[in-house]
């Protein structure tokens, strides 16, 4: 159980922590004020609504059913998508990204060359991934 499983959220919220809820399968698309989302370990989550355009911080690590990330999160600065085994790409529109953790993303073949602000990159076991455009 998490805040989303409990029922509709009527107040505008900036921060939501759902950490490790095995029940939540969707995030309400009307949470447009959200800047901070921790949905790590939510193993039934397949996608994150593209309407959350104010997101600056997203932890979706261990969302093992997550198929893709929407290109609309253009303000995102911190992204942890490690252990998202089905993720094949990170949108090139995330040009403000400063920290990226994508350990064990086995299907992630490369990173966009638009990620010029990246200060911290943790790819751990992702070996042989081309890092063109990453300037540590």
Name the one range near Zn ion by CB under 5 A: 2-10, 44-52, 80-88, 121-129. Answer: 2-10
Name the one range near Zn ion by CB under 5 A: 19-27, 28-36, 78-86, 90-98. Answer: 19-27
Nearest distance, CB of residue 24 and Zn ion, angstroms:
4
Out of 16, 24, 58, 84, point to the residue binding Zn ion (CB under 5 A).
Answer: 24
Give yes or no for residue 23 binding Zn ion (CB under 5 A). Answer: yes
Nearest distance, CB of residue 10 and Zn ion, angstroms:
17
HSE, CB side, 13 Å, CA atoms: give it for residue 57: 8
3-state secondary structure of 5: helix
Nearest distance, CB of residue 3 and Zn ion, angstroms:
7
Give yes or no for residue 2 binding Zn ion (CB under 5 A). Answer: yes
Separation between Cα atoms, residue 2 and residue 37, nearest integer Å: 13
Tally of CB atoms within 10 A around 100: 23
Q: Measured in whole angstroms, how far is the alpha carbon of residue 127 from the centre of its chain? A: 21
Q: Measured in whole angstroms, how far is the alpha carbon of residue 78 from the centre of its chain? A: 8
């Amino acid at each position: 159980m998490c805040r989303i499983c409990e029922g509709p959220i009527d107040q505008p919220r900036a921060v939501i922590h759902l950490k490790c809820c095995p029940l939540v399968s969707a995030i309400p698309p009307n949470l447009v004020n959200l800047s901070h989302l921790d949905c790590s370990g939510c193993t039934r989550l397949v996608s994150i609504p593209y309407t959350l355009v104010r997101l600056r911080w997203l932890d979706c690590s261990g969302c093992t059913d997550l198929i893709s990330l929407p290109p609309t999160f253009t303000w995102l600065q911190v992204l942890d998508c490690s252990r998202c085994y089905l993720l094949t790409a990170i949108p090139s529109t995330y040009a403000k990204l400063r920290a990226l953790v994508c350990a064990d993303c086995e299907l992630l073949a490369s990173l966009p060359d638009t990620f010029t602000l990246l200060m911290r990159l943790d790819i751990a076991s992702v070996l042989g991934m081309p890092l063109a455009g990453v300037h540590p």
